């Protein structure tokens, strides 16, 4: 069977099982009394959340043949959708009253939203990351950036001798050096803004008329490197976003577990209707 | 114009095999029966026979029990006994025994225990293992990390069937000529003097001198050719007599450079990949008369057709693929002229067999039930071709088609989470064995991970045979216990996929060579998670199905994955 067919079949199987499970719960819960329905939906939710956490456990055990991580991710995504549906049933779509339940509600909603956001990011960002230059390793970006900065500095310094003019060197001191320092605007890059790059290039175009042919060549070489630096900033921003969302999702996932445990204990201790 | 092969030879001329080879030594070589009849006038003034010997020969002394060639090694030279006696043994184990934990399939508990047993420092080794080499019947020469010795020679000779070779006897030439693993281990029975002739020199002499060529071809014909033909789909149903007749008429040809990684690295550095085909020797050209069916014996070749001023690559022909069969069939059926419709160029190094057309028409075509897998371009219709032209050019020009288990990453899916790198590290004592970066074309990246090449040039020249191809599944692995960290493999790997690391003991202290005072080096690379349950961890760890280990020459399989 081709990889495409295997993947198609696997995903449809997950979809079918999830839909069936949701349908069973949705039809079953309303027929129960209030306590039984809360118990059923609550325990199903607990099991679903534990299954979701198992994905991270699988990631820690790459040397054990426990299905592929991509199968686990699909499973994770569908169980996540299923858990969200059960959560709505369990809470009757309402915001809870107590402090603990409010925390739990917030944690779950944020967890679910960050999960859906992560899926969206994983579908959208890889393609965007390739749209500006060759893909680079996140850890190497500072090295490449430093190399570009050094090259531009050398070009600017050399331009004084080669073109007999200090125009480029002055612009470098006043404007370009600042652009080359740091990561640029992460938020700006995430939203596809090119304001910083366009600004510095505009200033470069403005001095072009004062330069001899050698100076213009130097300016073109600098321009090439500024575009490359902007591409690196862009990749850095998207990589940061891709890695950063996990710093929200995973702590929430581990944070919700003790809250669930307390919720269950309190329910059995005091909450029976 | 200087071709890649010529350029490699120029490099060799600056790099003689044995700088200490004297004039008297050369005279001694030329006086051997093997070379006595070689006609020096056949060689051009720029490359005389004597200079070929000077550049490509060396004379070594071997002590009793010292291993000269090891079964399974990837040889690049032939040997002649100059003095003493050597023993050939066929039943010596193919792979050197390695530590149990590196080759045996782990148990579930052992796999799980990596969670807490993996080292906390990089490149940690259990150095006590290196002291146990004697247990395998092998030891290193005192004070030197060169050469392997049989431990108990008397016992060894008693336990194995040994064929003795003496003065003037030639061995190792078939593996060198056919670029195949050595089929036997050869060791010195007594202190011996051995001439080693590098393949490049042997090929040059074979090319210039008819007598030498006939001698070499006859040996190959007698020992290997018939068996090789019988293994082919096309010839396997033919009788013994017919096979003998075909073998007798088949020509054995070699193209390209044995150590092609030299020219490859130069080509990569020049970045002028659009002209890659100009550097590749033509095996057969479009429009040529089809004098024989070409069968790839080893290596890989580019199948192309003319387009405008250049050549368009259609596919790659590898081991046992045939070229020209369609044309012969069509001519036999009266459907077309006996001229080639495509060209075949050697990428790197290629061995081919040329079976005369008349014999193919007489014996093969009448018995042919179904067309074999033919190197004919995988579909002539543009729409039917599985991969786009740009990708095919990228894979062939960069010789990535050498990879049987290349790591290909779909960058449209890869989110850079590095789960693959972490999984690799977890499966290798916390040391990643690849870099998630490499040449890219469109959305595909071929990462810097060992590709387990069909033509593994990294195996050439390893002094201890530490890097070897496993007999059962063809993966290329390094025996850490016998690697001496010389770096030959790392320098030879055209794709920079082998790395030398400074090793430490389990406490984190660097292991220091007592003789040099420098840290001990070991070559490391991807071993496809040898011994781990479930195969390569990198592929299984990718949550986005963005990574695959795949045979790049399998265009259909690659297309299936790319277009999934």
Tell me whether residue B142 is in a domain: no
What is the residue-averaged pLDDT of chain B? Answer: 83
Tell me whether residue B171 is in a domain: yes
| One domain, residues B347 and B229 | yes
CB-CB neighbors (< 8 A) of B545 in chain A: 3, 7, 68, 70
Chain A nearest-CA distance from B527, in A, is 14
Give percent above pLDDT 70 in chain A. Answer: 96
Pick the closest to residue B91 from B157, B140, B180, B173 (CA basis): B157
CB-CB neighbors (< 8 A) of B441 in chain A: none
Does residue B113 sit in helix, strand or coil? Answer: coil
| One domain, residues B370 and B404 | no
What pLDDT is attached to residue B487? 92
| One domain, residues B25 and B40 | yes
Does residue B296 carry a pLDDT above 60? yes
Contacts of B502-508 with CB under 8 Å at 24 or more apart are: B502/B123, B503/B123, B503/B124, B503/B125, B503/B127, B504/B121, B504/B122, B504/B123, B504/B124, B504/B125, B505/B124, B505/B125, B505/B127, B506/B119, B506/B121, B506/B124, B506/B125, B506/B126, B507/B121, B508/B120, B508/B121, B508/B124
Rounded to 5 degrees, φ, ψ at B200 are: -60, -45
The position carrying tokens 């500024």 is: A226
Judged on CB neighbours under 10 Å (0-12, 13-18, 19+), A202 is exposed
- What confidence tier does B93 reach under pLDDT thresholds 50, 70, 90? low
| One domain, residues B408 and B306 | no
Q: Is B211 on the interface with A (CB under 8 A)?
A: no
What's B414's DSSP letter? -
| One domain, residues B312 and B200 | no
- The domain boundary, picked from B358, B385, B412, lies at B385
User: Do A62 and B112 lie within an 8 Å CB cutoff?
Assistant: no
Does residue A148 carry a pLDDT above 90? yes
**Token pair of B152 as six digits:** 């108990």
For residues B268 and B161, which has the higher predicted lDDT (pLDDT)? B161
Pick the closest to residue B444 from B303, B313, B563, B315 (CA basis): B563
The ipTM estimated for the assembled molecules is: 0.83
Q: Is B105 on the interface with A (CB under 8 A)?
A: no
| One domain, residues B191 and B331 | no
Tell me whether residue B133 is in a domain: no
- What confidence tier does B382 reach under pLDDT thresholds 50, 70, 90? low
User: Do B533 and A60 lie within an 8 Å CB cutoff?
Assistant: no
- What confidence tier does B157 reach under pLDDT thresholds 50, 70, 90? confident
Q: Which of A21-35, A103-117, A172-186, B163-177 has the lowest mean pLDDT?
A: A21-35
Contacts of B207-211 with CB under 8 Å at 24 or more apart are: B208/B42, B208/B43, B208/B49, B209/B38, B209/B39, B209/B42, B211/B37, B211/B38, B211/B39
Chain B nearest-CA distance from A172, in A, is 32
Does residue B206 sit in helix, strand or coil? Answer: helix
What is the residue-averaged pLDDT of chain A? Answer: 89
Q: Please tell me which of the candidates A3, A63, A127 has its beta carbon nearest to residue B532.
A: A63
What pLDDT is attached to residue A66? 87
Quote the CA–CA distance of B338 and B324 in Å, as a whole number: 9
| One domain, residues B343 and B317 | yes
CB-CB neighbors (< 8 A) of A73 in chain B: 543-544
What pLDDT is attached to residue A12? 82
Please tell me which residue of chain A has the smallest CA distance to B439. A134
- What confidence tier does B3 reach under pLDDT thresholds 50, 70, 90? very low
Contacts of A189-198 with CB under 8 Å at 24 or more apart are: A189/A233, A189/A234, A189/A236, A189/A237, A189/A238, A190/A237, A190/A238, A190/A241, A194/A230, A196/A230, A197/A226, A197/A227, A197/A230
For residues B387 and B32, which has the higher predicted lDDT (pLDDT)? B32
pLDDT tens-digit readout, A184-236: 888 999 998 999 999 999 999 999 888 888 889 999 999 999 999 999 999 99
For residues B24 and B181, which has the higher predicted lDDT (pLDDT)? B24
Tell me whether residue B557 is in a domain: yes
CB-CB neighbors (< 8 A) of B440 in chain A: 134-135
Interval B428-441 mean pLDDT: 93
For an interface test with B, which of A54, A59, A63 has the most B Cβ atoms less than 10 Å from its Cβ? A63
pLDDT tens-digit readout, B499-519: 999 999 888 899 988 778 889
Angle between helices B199-208 and B4-13 (to 10 degrees): 120
Does residue B106 carry a pLDDT above 60? yes
Chain B nearest-CA distance from A1, in A, is 10
Q: Is B308 on the interface with A (CB under 8 A)?
A: no
Tell me whether residue B102 is in a domain: no
Pick the closest to residue B230 from B377, B389, B353, B397 (CA basis): B353
Interval B344-358 mean pLDDT: 90
User: Do A126 and B534 lie within an 8 Å CB cutoff?
Assistant: no
Q: Is B156 on the interface with A (CB under 8 A)?
A: no
Give percent above pLDDT 70 in chain B. Answer: 87
Show which residues on chain A lie within 8 Å of chain B, measured between beta carbons: 2-4, 7, 59-65, 68-70, 72-73, 121-122, 125-127, 129-130, 134-138, 140, 239, 242-243
The 3-state secondary structure of B64-102 reads CCEEEECCCCECCEEEEEEECCEEEECCCCCCCCCCHHH
Interval A12-34 mean pLDDT: 78
**Token pair of B33 as six digits:** 């029966």
Alpha-carbon distances, residue B238 vs B231, B368, B471 (angstroms): 11, 10, 28
**Token pair of A271 as six digits:** 């909450």
| One domain, residues B357 and B491 | no
What pLDDT is attached to residue B431? 95
Contact call for residues B344 and B375 (beta carbons, < 8 A)? yes
Q: Which strand (E) or helix (H) includes residue B49? A: helix B49-56
pTM confidence score: 0.81
Q: State the residue range of the domain holding B66.
A: 4-92+160-206
For an interface test with A, which of B106, B445, B545 has the most A Cβ atoms less than 10 Å from its Cβ? B545
Q: Please tell me which of the candidates A63, A125, A242 has its beta carbon nearest to residue B533.
A: A63
What pLDDT is attached to residue B381? 53
For an interface test with B, which of A69, A76, A234 has the most B Cβ atoms less than 10 Å from its Cβ? A69
Pick the closest to residue B348 from B406, B402, B390, B294 (CA basis): B402
Give percent above pLDDT 90 in chain B. Answer: 35
Does residue B378 carry a pLDDT above 60? no
Does residue B421 carry a pLDDT above 50? yes
Q: Which strand (E) or helix (H) includes residue B58? A: strand B57-62
CA atoms within 13 A on the CB side of B500: 14
Tell me whether residue B541 is in a domain: yes
Please tell me which residue of chain A has the smallest CA distance to B415. A126
**DSSP H helices in B254-388:** 261-270, 325-332, 357-359, 365-367
**DSSP H helices in chain A:** 3-28, 34-60, 69-91, 99-129, 141-163, 167-171, 177-180, 186-190, 195-208, 213-244, 246-266
| One domain, residues B484 and B372 | no
Interval B468-474 mean pLDDT: 79
Contact call for residues A28 and A39 (beta carbons, < 8 A)? no
Does residue B156 carry a pLDDT above 80? yes
CB-CB neighbors (< 8 A) of A126 in chain B: 411-416, 546
Q: Is B415 on the interface with A (CB under 8 A)?
A: yes
What pLDDT is attached to residue B15? 61
Does residue B428 carry a pLDDT above 90? yes
| One domain, residues B253 and B191 | no
A–B CB contacts, 8 A cutoff, strictly below:
101
Contact call for residues B473 and B90 (beta carbons, < 8 A)? no
Quote the CA–CA distance of B316 and B401 in Å, as a whole number: 8
Pick the closest to residue A156 from A136, A178, A134, A139 (CA basis): A178
Chain B nearest-CA distance from A78, in A, is 14
Chain A nearest-CA distance from B532, in A, is 6
**Total structural domains within chain B:** 3
What pLDDT is attached to residue B147? 63
Interval B319-345 mean pLDDT: 90
| One domain, residues B407 and B336 | no
What pLDDT is attached to residue B369? 62
Please tell me which residue of chain B has the smallest CA distance to A71. B543
Interval A241-264 mean pLDDT: 93
Pick the closest to residue A165 from A131, A135, A195, A209 (CA basis): A209
CB-CB neighbors (< 8 A) of A138 in chain B: 416
Tell me whether residue B124 is in a domain: no
Does residue B379 carry a pLDDT above 70? no
| B72: CATH | 2.60.120.10
Q: Is the alpha carbon torsion for B214, B220, B226, B228 positive or negative?
A: negative
Tell me whether residue B118 is in a domain: no
Pick the closest to residue A226 from A192, A208, A203 (CA basis): A203
Interval B345-365 mean pLDDT: 90
User: Do A62 and B543 lie within an 8 Å CB cutoff?
Assistant: no
Pick the closest to residue B543 from A176, A74, A24 (CA basis): A74
- What confidence tier does B136 reach under pLDDT thresholds 50, 70, 90? very low
pLDDT tens-digit readout, B239-282: 888 888 998 899 888 888 767 777 787 777 776 666 777 778 99
| One domain, residues B326 and B408 | no
């Amino acid at each position: 069977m081709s990889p495409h067919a295997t993947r198609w079949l696997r995903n449809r199987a997950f979809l079918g099982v999830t839909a069936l499970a949701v349908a069973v719960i949705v039809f079953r819960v309303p027929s129960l009394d209030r306590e039984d329905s809360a118990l059923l939906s609550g325990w199903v939710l607990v099991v679903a959340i534990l299954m979701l956490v198992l994905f991270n456990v699988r990631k820690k055990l790459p040397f054990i043949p426990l299905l592929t991580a991509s199968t686990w991710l699909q499973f994770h995504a569908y169980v996540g959708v299923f858990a969200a549906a059960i959560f709505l049933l369990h809470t009757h779509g309402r915001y809870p009253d107590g402090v603990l339940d409010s925390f739990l509600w917030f944690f779950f909603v944020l967890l679910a939203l960050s999960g859906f956001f992560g899926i969206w990011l994983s579908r959208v960002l890889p393609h965007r990351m390739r749209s500006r230059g060759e893909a680079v390793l996140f850890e190497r970006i500072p090295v490449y950036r430093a190399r570009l900065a050094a090259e531009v500095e050398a070009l600017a310094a050399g331009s004084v001798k080669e073109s007999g003019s200090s125009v480029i060197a002055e612009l470098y001191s006043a404007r370009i050096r600042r652009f080359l320092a740091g990561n640029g605007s992460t938020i700006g890059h995430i939203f596809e803004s090119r304001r910083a790059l366009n600004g510095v290039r505009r200033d470069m175009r403005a001095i072009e008329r004062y330069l001899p042919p050698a100076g213009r060549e130097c300016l073109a070489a600098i321009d090439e490197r500024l575009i490359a630096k902007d591409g690196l900033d862009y990749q850095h921003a998207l990589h940061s976003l891709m890695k950063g969302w996990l710093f929200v999702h995973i702590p929430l996932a581990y944070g919700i577990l003790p809250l669930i445990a307390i919720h269950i204990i309190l329910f059995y201790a005091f909450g029976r209707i | 114009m200087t071709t890649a092969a010529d350029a490699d030879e120029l490099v060799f001329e600056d790099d003689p095999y044995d700088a200490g080879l004297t004039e008297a030594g050369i005279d001694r070589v030329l006086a051997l029966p093997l070379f006595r009849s070689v006609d020096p006038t056949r060689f051009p003034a720029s490359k005389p026979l004597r200079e070929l010997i000077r550049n490509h020969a060396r004379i070594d002394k071997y002590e009793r029990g010292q291993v000269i060639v090891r079964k399974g090694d990837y040889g690049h030279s032939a040997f002649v006994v100059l003095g003493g006696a050597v023993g050939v043994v066929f039943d010596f184990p193919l792979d050197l025994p390695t530590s149990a934990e590196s080759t045996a399939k782990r148990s579930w508990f052992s796999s799980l225990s990596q969670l807490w047993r993996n080292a906390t420092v990089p490149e940690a080794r259990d150095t006590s293992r290196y002291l146990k080499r004697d247990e395998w019947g092998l030891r290193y020469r005192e004070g030197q990390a060169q050469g392997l010795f049989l431990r108990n020679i008397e016992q060894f000779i008693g336990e194995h069937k040994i064929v003795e070779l003496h003065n003037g006897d030639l061995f190792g030439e078939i593996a060198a000529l056919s670029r195949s693993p050595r089929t036997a281990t050869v060791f010195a029975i007594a202190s011996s003097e051995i001439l080693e002739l590098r393949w490049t020199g042997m090929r040059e002499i074979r090319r210039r001198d008819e007598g030498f060529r006939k001698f070499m071809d006859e040996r190959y014909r007698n020992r290997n050719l018939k068996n090789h033909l019988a293994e082919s789909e096309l010839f396997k149903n033919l009788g013994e007599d017919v096979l003998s007749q075909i073998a007798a008429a088949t020509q054995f040809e070699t193209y390209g450079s044995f150590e092609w990684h030299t020219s490859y690295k130069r080509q990569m550095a020049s970045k002028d990949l659009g002209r890659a085909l100009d550097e590749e020797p033509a095996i057969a050209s479009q429009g040529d008369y089809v004098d024989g069916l070409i069968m790839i014996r080893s290596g890989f070749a580019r199948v192309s057709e003319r387009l405008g001023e250049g050549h368009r690559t259609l596919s790659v022909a590898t081991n046992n693929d045939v070229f020209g069969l369609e044309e012969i069939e069509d001519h036999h059926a009266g459907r077309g002229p006996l001229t080639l419709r495509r060209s075949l160029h050697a990428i790197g190094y290629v061995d081919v067999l040329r079976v005369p057309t008349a014999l193919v028409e007489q014996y093969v075509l009448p018995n042919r039930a179904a067309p074999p897998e033919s190197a004919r371009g995988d579909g002539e219709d543009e729409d039917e071709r599985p991969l786009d032209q740009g990708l095919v050019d990228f894979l062939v020009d960069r010789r990535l088609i050498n990879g049987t288990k290349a790591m290909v990453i779909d960058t449209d899916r890869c989110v850079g989470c590095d789960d693959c790198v972490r999984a690799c590290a977890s499966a290798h004592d916390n040391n990643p064995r690849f870099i998630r970066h490499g040449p890219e074309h469109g959305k595909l990246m071929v990462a810097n991970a060992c590709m387990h090449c069909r033509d593994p040039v990294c195996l050439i020249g390893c002094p201890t045979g530490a890097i070897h191809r496993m007999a059962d599944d063809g993966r290329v692995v390094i025996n850490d216990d016998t690697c001496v960290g010389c770096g030959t493999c790392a320098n030879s790997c055209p794709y920079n996929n082998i790395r030398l690391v400074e090793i430490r003991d389990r406490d984190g202290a660097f292991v220091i060579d007592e003789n040099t005072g420098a840290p001990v080096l070991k070559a490391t690379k991807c071993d496809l998670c040898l011994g781990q349950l479930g195969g390569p961890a990198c592929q299984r760890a990718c949550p986005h199905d963005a990574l695959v280990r795949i045979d790049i020459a399998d265009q259909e399989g690659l297309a299936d994955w790319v277009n999934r």
